[in-house]
Amino acid sequence: MKQSTIAGWLNNYNNLKSNPEALDSTDMLLEFPYKPCVDLIRNCDLPPPQKLFTASDKGAMAARGRGREEVETGGMEEKLELLKALRLSQTRAREAERKAAKLMEERDCISRAFEDEARLIFCYRQSLKLMELRVSKLKKRKEEEEDNGNGNRGVKWVWALAICLSVVGVGILLGYTCSNVGEDPFVVNT
């Protein structure tokens, strides 16, 4: 018996592959999707649509003795109920549009914030690269000064000694010339 049940299920499954609308109540219990998802989207406010009559159906109704007035004149309560449902549906649609507009505005605001943050991050990265470049340049300059500084110390002492000796030499020269002349070189005679 299990063998026939499984075989029957496989046959139904194969039928389902070839014809998706060929389902019976046992297949419904197995939770096979019988309609596309688009059919599941419905407006619950409105009543289900009534059967639309074509011209051939109207002729058949007229032959049965029902006139056009009976078809057109429905109950006032049904019309009011339909109008209320339509108004409620439109109200919900407007609310959904407002919410969608608000969400779009929030999305735009968030995207602008992300763009601003990306710009700031880019600026920070560029300034960091510039600072790193300056630091490396200063390190190179310091290393060059240290390398040149060891050799420059001797040159600096030589220049200092030369300047001191030149000052002393000028002093001796002035002293020698003044002793020969006997006058003070800094005092002007008038």
List pLDDT tens digits, range 78-117.
889 999 999 999 999 999 999 999 999 999 999 999 999 9
Mean pLDDT confidence for 169-176: 79
Quick count: other Cβ atoms within 10 Å of Cβ 170?
10
Cα–Cα distance for residue pair 74/82, rounded to 1 Å:
11
In a domain, 32, yes or no: no
Phi, psi of 19 (to 5 degrees): -135, 100
What's the number of domains the chain is made of? 1
**pLDDT at residue number 20:** 53
Residue 94 lies in a domain: yes
* pTM, to two decimals: 0.35
Residue 81 lies in a domain: yes
Angle CA 105–107–110, to nearest 5 = 110
pLDDT attached to residue 1: 44
List pLDDT tens digits, range 173-182.
777 776 666 5
The answer to whether residue 169 sits within a structural domain is no
Range of the domain at 94: 76-146
Q: What is the DSSP letter of 77?
A: H
